[in-house]
Amino acid sequence: MSFKGGLAMDEPNPQAFAEKIIANVSRVLVGKEEAVELALVALGCEGHLLVEDVPGVGKTMLARSLARSLGLSFNRIQCTPDLLPSDITGVSVFNPKEGSFSFRPGPVMANIVLVDEINRATPRTQSGLLEVMGERQVTVDGQTLPLPFPFMVLATNNPIEFEGTFPLPEAQLDRFLMRIALGYPNPDQERQVLARMEKEHPLNNLKPVVSPEEILRLIQAAREVFVEDSLRSYIVEIVNRTRRHPRIELGASPRGSIALFQASRVRAVLRGRNYVLPEDIKYLAPFILAHRLVLTTEAFARGEKDIHIVEEILATTPVPTEEALNA
């Protein structure tokens, strides 16, 4: 079975674009090439990224080094229980000299916005991010303003602390294209980290290696990637199985299907292809679907993990083959 289409790849090569970004970020983050590629997939989908991991593994450095490598503006929002929605989106301030109100933009007015420890913000403040993430705009006092392009929220979440935190609602989680973890470095990687930090932080000397225009070319190239009909059906079947699974109370929404479809095309571009393979879908599905699932009470009480259920679904869902197509 041939999954190839007849489309020509745009120049410059998006694969070279990805390699430059990954190599540059690796000067700061050692051994996190997979996480950087997934962040680029999210950016190419114009999506958002949730990084769920313990403190100190490089979540903030991933956001800062990615923004600097891409030559994009960067802002950080440190979430606390007293943070207000206006602290994120901006506020109208009265100017007594002019006798009128003027809009003072909030930190979301940047290309890459790090929302640090998002689960420490109250539900009211978290809801202030829904329009930002879903519509790429902010509305303050009846005035709607677009956000800069490209725009990505990279939020961090500490999964081991519960005191003073607020669980993310399903509507919020569903707006994240992917959820990833960085994990601890191995001993060799950690020795490299110590060597690089001996004199100064490597982020201080990090320079942009691509232009923002190349991000637009990546997005445009992904829209031209060919997806064979059987692979579209494969995506739909995987997502539908999350809705029928006995240990899942609430399966992935159609937004999950769209996210998996789009992300597979961006990954294909980053790998130098103009067509999607089944391996693209299988690789990305756990990152895209797991955080969208709500497990049953019994499964949650047994300590089952959403990502393991997605892997089980992938293992039991037939992969499109030439024989199946011709049968």
Task: Say if residue 3's pLDDT is above 50.
Answer: no
Share of the chain above pLDDT 90, in %: 60
Task: Say if residue 326's pLDDT is above 50.
Answer: no
Compute the average pLDDT of residues 235-263. Answer: 95
Where b means 16+ CB within 10 Å and e means fewer, 165-187 reads: bbebeeebbbbbbbbbbbeebee
> 322: pLDDT confidence band, cut at 50, 70 and 90?
low
Q: How many CB atoms lie within 10 A of CB 123?
A: 12
Q: Token match 């190839």: residue?
A: 4
177-236 pLDDT per residue, tens: 999 999 899 999 999 989 988 888 888 889 999 888 889 899 999 999 999 999 999 999
> 104: pLDDT confidence band, cut at 50, 70 and 90?
confident
Fill in the amino acid letter for 9.
M
Compute the average pLDDT of residues 73-80. Answer: 93
Q: How many CB atoms lie within 10 A of CB 148?
A: 14
Instruction: Give the model's pLDDT for residue 12.
Output: 54
| Phi, psi dihedrals of residue 228, rounded to the nearest 5° | -65, 150
Report d(CA 293, CA 251) in Å as an integer.
5
**90-95 vs 137-140, strand pairing mode:** unpaired
Across the beta sheet with 112-116, the strand order is 74-78, 112-116, 152-157, 49-52, 178-180
Q: Half-sphere exposure of 60 toward its Cβ, with a 13 Å CA cutoff?
A: 12
Task: Say if residue 327's pLDDT is above 60.
Answer: no
Domains and CATH numbers, the chain: 1-28+212-327 (1.10.8.80), 48-176 (3.40.50.300)
CA 151 to chain centre: 11
> 268: pLDDT confidence band, cut at 50, 70 and 90?
very high
Tokens in use for 217?
Answer: 């070319």
Question: How high is the mean pLDDT of the chain?
Answer: 88
List the one residue out of 66, 29, 98 whose CA is nearest residue 209: 66
Compute the average pLDDT of residues 3-7. Answer: 45
Bridge partner residues of 248 (DSSP): 295
Give CA angle at 60 (58, 62), nearest 5°.
Answer: 65
Instruction: Give the model's pLDDT for residue 177.
Output: 96
Task: Say if residue 255's pLDDT is above 60.
Answer: yes
Task: Say if residue 325's pLDDT is above 70.
Answer: no
Q: How many CB atoms lie within 10 A of CB 268?
A: 23
139-192 pLDDT per residue, tens: 877 778 899 999 999 999 887 766 768 888 888 899 999 999 998 999 999 999
Rounded to two decimals, the pTM is: 0.88
Task: Say if residue 9's pLDDT is above 70.
Answer: no
Instruction: Give the model's pLDDT for residue 262.
Output: 97
Instruction: Give the model's pLDDT for residue 134.
Output: 87
> 1: pLDDT confidence band, cut at 50, 70 and 90?
very low
Report d(CA 248, CA 170) in Å as an integer.
14
Give CA angle at 206 (41, 77), nearest 5°.
Answer: 65
Task: Say if residue 285's pLDDT is above 60.
Answer: yes
Tokens in use for 241?
Answer: 């199985």
Instruction: Give the model's pLDDT for residue 139.
Output: 83
Q: Report yes or no: 154 and 51 within 8 Å, Cβ to Cβ.
A: yes
